[in-house]
Amino acid sequence: MLRILLKLQDQLVSALAICAAATALLMLYLTVGDVVSRTLGFGSWPSTMPVVELSLLYFAIFSAPYLVRRKAHVAIDSFIRLTPPAVRKLALYTVLWFSALACLTCGIISIGMLEDSVASGEMVISSIDLPFWLFALPLPLGYVATAIEFLRLAAAGTDIYSQESGGSI
C-alpha cells in the first residue's frame, strides 16, 4: 500500500512540475505579447498583469515539491558545515521535520482558506475580476506534497546540505 502511495506521490510531483513549467511559459507568452502589442501601438492587454500575478503563485507552489525532491531548494549551510557529524545529522533531521511540519500546517490552514473563499464567493478586483478561490486552490496540494517530500528526505536520511564550497545558498 505504501509503495502505491509513494508512486502516486511521484506522479503528482511530476505533474505539478509540468504544470509549473507550463505556467512559466504562459507568463513568458503574456509578458512578451503585452510588450509587443504596446510597441506596435495596439495597447496593453488588460488581463496580463492579474494572470501573471496568479501564475507566479501557481509556479511557486507547484514547483516546490520538485525542488525539494531534487534538493534544489534554498539551504543555508555555512554554519552546519563547521559542525561535527553527529550535530550535523541532528540538525538535518530537525530541519527536515520542522520544514515538513511547517508545510503541513500551511496546507491545513490553506484548506480552510479555500473552503472560506468558495463559500464567500469573494472576488479579487483588478483589471479583470478573479474569484479568490483561484488563488487558494493550489495551496493545499502544493504544501502537502512539499511536506511529503521533506518527510521522504528525512526517512531516507538524505543530506540536503552541500558537500563542497558554494553548493547551497
pLDDT digits (tens, 9 = 90+) for 115-134: 999 999 888 887 788 888 98
Phi–psi pair at 124, nearest 5 degrees: -100, 115
DSSP for 91-136 reads HHHHHHHHHHHHHHHHHHHHHHHHHHHHHHT-EE-SSS-EETHHHH
d(CA 92, CA 6): 22
pLDDT band, very low/low/confident/very high, at 161 (cuts 50, 70, 90): low
Question: How distant is the alpha carbon of residue 93 from its chain centre?
Answer: 21
In this predicted structure, the answer to whether residue 79 has a pLDDT above a threshold of 90 is no
Instruction: Using a pLDDT cut of 70, give the percent of the chain over it.
Output: 91
The better pLDDT of the pair 78, 131 is held by 131
The average pLDDT across 38-47 equals 90
User: Domain-by-domain residue ranges, the chain?
Assistant: 2-156
pTM: 0.83
Structure confidence at residue 56 (pLDDT): 94
d(CA 4, CA 93): 25
In this predicted structure, the answer to whether residue 138 has a pLDDT above a threshold of 70 is yes
Instruction: Using a pLDDT cut of 90, give the percent of the chain over it.
Output: 56
Structure confidence at residue 166 (pLDDT): 46
